[in-house]
Structure 1
Amino acid sequence: MTSPEARERAVLEAVGERRERVNRAIPEELPIVRPERLYEASRYLLDAGGKRLRPTVLLTTGEALADVSPLSTPYRRFPGLDGRTIDLMAAAVSVEVIQSFTLIHDDIMDDDDLRRGVPAVHREYDVETAILAGDTLYSKAFEIMLETGAPPDRAVEALEVLATTCTRICEGQSLDVSFEARGEVTTEEYLEMIEQKTAVLYAASASLPAILMGADDETIEALSGYGLDVGRAFQIQDDVLDLTVPSEKLGKQRGSDLVEEKQTLITVHARQHGVDIEGLVDTEDVDRVTEGEIDDAVAELESAGSIEYANGMARTLADRGKDRLEVLPDNEARGLLEDLADYLIERGY
């Protein structure tokens, strides 16, 4: 049996190989043209890095559906299930561009200084340019998705999924903002919010290859469910990492969710078990919060069982997501999707 460490190394290697291919494709799909400042700002976060997890899910799902060896078939001329070829890489870049658009606008709304270890777009440029850059990425994602070469009916369905995904992301962000003004949020409300804000883009990433390649409705639905489950698990793990990973690795202030009074599954559970969340840290200024204060807050949350509860929920969701992959052929790419689900809830950052 493969050890967890060996499995994680294999996942990171697989993600890295696909990331490099996506990185090479991004300038092709999103060149810097006039006006240069706008497109430089649009590319800024994309060029700053990122794990490219969503494109990895998309590309690997395509490999599993086609039942081909991973990385053996050119993504630009990928075989559909009816013998037609599609540009799977264009779809992968499209979802990563959507992800970047949401990050730019999130950072503006939260007035965050850092993203991926570099100044946020609105800090590096200005708020007006950052808003325009996000809007540009949003529209470019649809242009890029139109370049897959899929038959018209599949292309329209893919665009519909992308549009609905963007709408639900905005709805999820609106719910997240509204939660900040509320003293209590239920577990069900929190899970609904992260499904819309985070998980729907994973669902799109997993289901879009099936749509473009001509899979049946049952397969499309199952893969969308996989994305929803592992996407929610990913966000819950992100909430844990915000408290447990040093600031230099996070690329932002550790414990910022607590300081900004964001509702997470951890704080929802802790409130339900009598923890005074508002009293854990100074919520007036994130820059004044010390590592010692965060350590004390984490200790109290651990004592309440809240971090363990979040870890358990993430595991349950990841396992359910893996079960949905039974619609795929039993091949190496499907195994990677299963391992990726585990990685999303076991990663250190």
Structure 2
Amino acid sequence: MTSPEAREEAVLEAVRQRRELVNDAIPEELPIQRPERLYEASRYLLDAGGKRLRPTVLLTTAEALTDIDPLSVEYRSFAPLDESGPVDMMAAAVSVEVIQSFTLIHDDIMDDDDLRRGVPAVHKEYDLETAILAGDTLYSKAFEIMLETGAEPDRIVDALSVLATTCTDICEGQSLDVTFEERADVSPDEYLEMVEQKTAVLYAASACLPAILLGADDETIDELYGYGLDIGRAFQIQDDVLDLTVPSEELGKQRGSDLVENKQTLITVHAREQGVDIDGLVDTDDVDAVTEAEIDEAVAELEAAGSIAYANQTAQELVEQGKERLEVLPDNEARELLCEIAHYLIERGY
């Protein structure tokens, strides 16, 4: 059985290889043009870095579907499952990363966050108006880029439909997240529905889009979409755990900030059901005023209630469920990598 350390090393190397290719493709698909300030702002977060996990899932799924030798992959000219013409899978990968960047810009505006990926947020580096326009530009450009994949017209229509529905779901999930901050009766099922829309659907799109563009059958498309939903929900649960358990200097923000800001997580939802007074765990709603000692005490109480263990167990179950869905794929190296990615998402540090 692969150790978590070996798994992380393998996944990070696979991600690194694909990230470099995606990074090279981004300026090709999204060049700086007039008006320059708008496109510089649109590219700002994309150029700042990022793991490119979603494009990695997309590219790896395409490899798994076609049982292709990883050493001979031509992402710009990917052979489909039938006799139709080649598909530009790298354009599809950039499209989903562009969607991810658009959501980050708007999230930072809503939360008035100062930093993202170690650099000032777009609305801080430029201005609010430019940041809004940059996010909107990325949203529309994602669809333009998907149109350039060269897949069969009916498959492109289906891919665009998935992208559109994904963007709607993300907005609905974000709205639920905001609404939940004012509620004390959110259930675990409601929380999982929220993170499915806010976070998991983009992983789901990333996993199923290659199947759509390459001409896979409906069962394969559905199972890959389900795989993405499962690992995407697990990814968000792990983020909730890391917010409480990773030191502030590693997080790059105050540990426990979700708790201070009254954000609903699977941990707090479960703890409240166990009778924990979530509102009384910390004495301030000011992230800058909370102390490490207060967070330590809060975490201890959440651990005593079994809530952190519950979150970890739920994430693990989602990963196992997602891996089972991959049985629709050929048994090859790429499928194994998709399994390793699923584990990495709940075993990673920040």
Q: 1: distance between equivalents of 2:90 and 2:283?
A: 45
Map of 2:17 onto structure 1: 17
Q: Unmatched 5+ residue regions in structure 2?
A: none
Q: Give a deviation string over 1:138-169, Cα, whole Å, max 9, x none.
A: 00100110010001000000000000110011
Map of 2:147 onto structure 1: 146
Map of 2:176 onto structure 1: 175
Q: 2: distance between equivalents of 1:170 and 1:7?
A: 33
Deviating 4+ runs (over 3 angstroms): none
Q: Which moved more, 1:210-219 or 1:297-306?
A: 297-306
Question: After the TM superposition, which residues 57-206 of structure 1 pair with which residues of structure 2 at under 5 Å, given as runs?
Answer: 57-83=57-83, 84-206=85-207
Question: After the TM superposition, which residues 239-318 of structure 1 pair with which residues of structure 2 at under 5 Å, given as runs?
Answer: 239-318=240-319
Q: 1: distance between equivalents of 2:326 and 2:242?
A: 27
Q: Which moved more, 1:317-326 or 1:30-39?
A: 30-39
Q: C-alpha root-mean-square deviation of aligned residues, in Å?
A: 1.1
Q: CA deviation at 1:71?
A: 4.7
Q: Unmatched 5+ residue regions in structure 1?
A: none
Map of 2:325 onto structure 1: 324
Contact preservation (8 Å) 1:211, 1:220: yes
Map of 1:2 onto structure 2: 2
Q: What SS does structure 2 have at the residue aligned with 1:85?
A: coil
Aligned length: 349
Q: Give a deviation string over 1:86-105, Cα, whole Å, max 9, x none.
A: 00000000000001111111
TM-score, normalised with respect to structure 2: 0.97
Q: What SS does structure 2 have at the residue aligned with 1:159?
A: helix
Contact preservation (8 Å) 1:115, 1:251: no
Q: 1: distance between equivalents of 2:211 and 2:338?
A: 14
Q: 1: distance between equivalents of 2:292 and 2:174?
A: 28
Q: What SS does structure 2 have at the residue aligned with 1:254?
A: coil
Q: Give a deviation string over 1:152-202, Cα, whole Å, max 9, x none.
A: 000000000000110011111111111011112001100100011111101
Contact preservation (8 Å) 1:114, 1:251: no
The percent of aligned pairs where both chains have the same amino acid is 81
Q: 2: distance between equivalents of 1:116 and 1:293?
A: 27
Q: 2: distance between equivalents of 1:175 and 1:136?
A: 24
Contact preservation (8 Å) 2:99, 2:138: yes
Q: 2: distance between equivalents of 1:118 and 1:146?
A: 31
TM-score, normalised with respect to structure 1: 0.97
Q: Give a deviation string over 1:59-102, Cα, whole Å, max 9, x none.
A: 00000001012252110011111142100000000000001111
Q: Which moved more, 1:250-259 or 1:164-173?
A: 250-259
